[in-house]
Amino acid sequence: MSDSSAQPRPLYDLLIIGAGINGAGFARDAAGRGLSVALCEKDDLAQGTSSRSGKLIHGGLRYLEYYEFRLVREALKERSVMLKQAPHIIWPMRFVLPHSPEQRPAWLVRAGLFLYDHLGGKDDLLPGSRGLDLRTCPEGEAIRDDYPKGFEYADCWVDDARLVVLNALDAARLGARVYPRAACTKATRLADHWEVELTDTESGEITPLAARAVINAAGPWVDSVLKGAFDQGGKDRVKLVKGSHIVLPKRYATANSYLLQNDDKRVIFVNPYEGDKLLVGTTDILYEGDPDRVAIDQQEIDYLLGVVNRYFKTPYTEDDILTSFSGIRPLFDDSQDNPSAVTRDYVFDVADAGGKAPLLSVFGGKITTYRKLAEHGLERLAPYFPAMGKTWNATAPLPGGDMPGADFAAFLKGLQRDYPWLEKATATRYARLYGTLARRILGEARRYQDLGEHLGADLYAVEARYLVDHEWARSAADILERRTKLYLVMSEAEVERVAAWVRREVDAPPGARADARTDSVATS
């Protein structure tokens, strides 16, 4: 372990702790306003809650029942903004809600959908809601005859982990320094700044730095960061709520999602996932364990399967579950006993010393409103940075999203034209993950052999190298789970092949890389 006292301590305007969606959003926004920014994360980017969400950009239809009108309005407006900023990782979906009169009368559902259609203002990108006869429409084919009536409305899908990475990429482009696998282990407030130590969670090496202000956006760990690195006591202000998902094989032909009402008044999403699968969730359970060890339990499995089998004609069993994941929502503790009623809105706490060296802690929030959360948080810090620029990123595309007219279909068609040897599924995957950055990876390649070593599925060394060199990937899990989702279609042997490639290549100097030739193609 190095002696941090002997190292120079660079001074940043802003240190952001936590590279989930909120931290990455803060870093991008602040760097674009002219602040010098450091972003640190104890794990990989998006390794916590931000890669374990329901993967939806939505207003939150059910939040209307809890009178969260401000949050829903803001989220609906952001839905349109984000759809234009990142059309490669965000796209519209139609949600079918089979009507169950035992839970909510039809008039109440209609009223809620009418409000949902109009609360965010006119949206030309998404169609309005409508009623359905599930006995005759294609969307009703999978639903049991007990539910002849339904409703349909629009929201959006997002690749949540890539949303985080793209924000971090743009922050870095704007000058931010990103420190993955670097935990903030010590923070000392001086007269006008903080002195901080970041500890590499793999090597133990300490990186000292200083910052005029600190944002604690550690999500489920926000209280533990305050008690640890900042040595602050007091009551925890985050209520940890576990949400679990299961992945099932898709057994219906239409492309729509389903929103299923349960008899406890909660709703469950059933969304098409990675082509031929379904993502089913989520649960809402108060959690008091270690957020790093969260996992689905039997009660949650039974709950999710029970809701699905209540509505679907063809039942699912536990043997059908392909995989599962769980995340922790770091919700602000508003003293609600019902986890589903705890606000999804965000709250800030700013503490300073005589008007200097502020510490802003973030409580709550949801992925859809991350950009507004960062905007509002930086407004709270504006008095400390009078030269900070104004809000800027409402119309700025995220990396890869700079497609003319935000037209993903036209971009994909052009990519297939320029790389006709790519299989359609592979071209689509590249376009979805990387958008216009796909051309940077593919470069001048004219055949699959130009992409380097075949690592499994349609992953080649040139793509893996791009993720290591430009997107902070350091392990097979970084590449397969958070950057690409290819773990869902790879065998154990293929996963190990990727892991071996990472062990062999990730720290190798450029001249020693087995894929050096293809790497030069990728970055040309």
- What structural domains and CATH numbers belong to the chain? 7-49+162-236+344-384 (3.50.50.60), 91-156+239-332 (3.30.9.10), 407-522 (1.10.8.870)
Determine if the peptide bond prior to 282 is cis (ω within 30°).
yes
pLDDT of residue 8: 73
Would you put residue 511 in left (φ > 0), alpha (ψ -120 to 50) or beta?
A: alpha
∠ CA 177-158-259 to the nearest 5 degrees?
Answer: 145
H or E segment at 426? Answer: helix 424-434
Q: What does residue 45 show for φ and ψ, rounded to 5 degrees?
A: -55, 135
Location of structure tokens 């209280």: 223
Structure tokens belonging to residue 384 = 């400390």
pLDDT of residue 341: 52
Q: Which residues of the chain have pLDDT under 50?
A: 1-2, 4, 514-524
Location of structure tokens 């590449």: 479
Rounded CA separation 41/200 (Å) = 10
**Helices 461-470 + 492-505 axis angle, to 10:** 50
pLDDT, tens only, 243-260: 999 999 999 999 999 999
Cβ atoms of 68 and 343 within 8 Å: the answer is yes
H or E segment at 272? Answer: strand 267-273
pLDDT of residue 457: 97
Rounded CA separation 521/103 (Å) = 58
Rounded CA separation 30/172 (Å) = 11
**Measured torsion, CA atoms of residues 71, 73, 77, 78, in degrees rounded to the nearest 10:** 10
* Long-range residue pairs from 510-519, CB within 8 A, at least 24 positions apart, any chain: 513/465, 514/453, 514/461, 515/452, 515/453, 515/461, 515/462, 515/465, 517/452, 518/445, 518/450, 518/451, 518/452, 518/460, 518/461, 518/462, 518/465, 519/452, 519/461, 519/462, 519/465, 519/469
Which is nearest to 321 in space by CA: 303, 294, 347, 340? 303
Beta bridge partners of 279: 247, 271
Burial of 219 (0-12, 13-18, 19+ CB in 10 A): buried
Which is nearest to 361 in space by CA: 231, 228, 217? 217
Q: Is the full-model pTM beyond 0.75?
A: yes
Location of structure tokens 């794990």: 43
Which is nearest to 112 in space by CA: 62, 56, 74, 148? 62
Rounded CA separation 498/235 (Å) = 44
Which is nearest to 25 in space by CA: 11, 37, 42? 37
Which amino acid, 475? S
Rounded CA separation 312/132 (Å) = 16
Q: What does residue 507 show for φ and ψ, rounded to 5 degrees?
A: -105, 5
pLDDT of residue 521: 32
Rounded CA separation 165/393 (Å) = 16
Alpha-carbon separation of residue 406 from 81, 121, 157, 368, 434 (angstroms): 11, 20, 16, 19, 14
Which is nearest to 232 in space by CA: 87, 78, 55, 353? 353
Burial 266-282 (b: 16+ CB within 10 A, else e): bbbbbbbbeeebbbbbb
pLDDT of residue 338: 60
